[in-house]
Amino acid sequence: MKLPISGQDLINLIPQKPPFVLISSLQQISETHAITTFIFSDDHPLSNHGKLTVAGLMENIAQTAAAKMGYECDLLGKKIPIGFIGDVRDFAFTQLPLVGEEIETEIVITNQIFDVSIISGSVKLNGTEIAHGKMKIFVEPENKATEQPE
């Protein structure tokens, strides 16, 4: 798939589905990082009084990580995994984006231990960081067929 990726192609890379999608396009990807953009509307479930909520900012960071993993799995012909936020640390924000504003989110994988990714995320609005934090994301392992004892 050629970057940037948006629309249904992007939705196919993440386990979340509308209306809970919090990324609009996958712009860049490398072995250790990914960058997405997001523009939301007033009727988004994580919009409140014309602003994206703090939970929306956190989920946007997590979905950026999910898009990276989904893209890599798609390249390898693997099933798109489901991930869960297991821990959030040092999260801070200075501003909540308004409806129609485009945010850019970058995640960097700082460590990978088995099915756990430790990431650092940064959200920017017009080039200025408005939120950042660290997360542990647990990925559900692929179900492996096991033989039943006789």
Residue 25's domain is classified under what CATH number?
A: 3.10.129.10
Q: Is 81 a member of any domain?
A: yes
Q: Is residue 144 part of a domain?
A: no
**Number of independent structural domains in the chain:** 1
107, 103, 93, 98 alpha-carbon torsion, rounded to 10°? -160
Alpha carbons 131 and 133: distance in angstroms, whole number: 7
Enter the pTM of the model: 0.93
Does residue 125 fall inside a structural domain?
Answer: yes
Domain that includes residue 131, residue range:
5-139
pLDDT per residue as tens, the chain (150 positions)? 899 999 999 999 999 999 999 999 999 999 999 999 999 999 999 999 999 999 999 999 999 999 999 999 999 999 999 999 999 999 999 999 999 999 999 999 999 999 999 999 999 999 999 999 999 999 988 764 334 444
Q: In 3D, which of 16, 40, 14 has the Cα closest to residue 26? A: 14
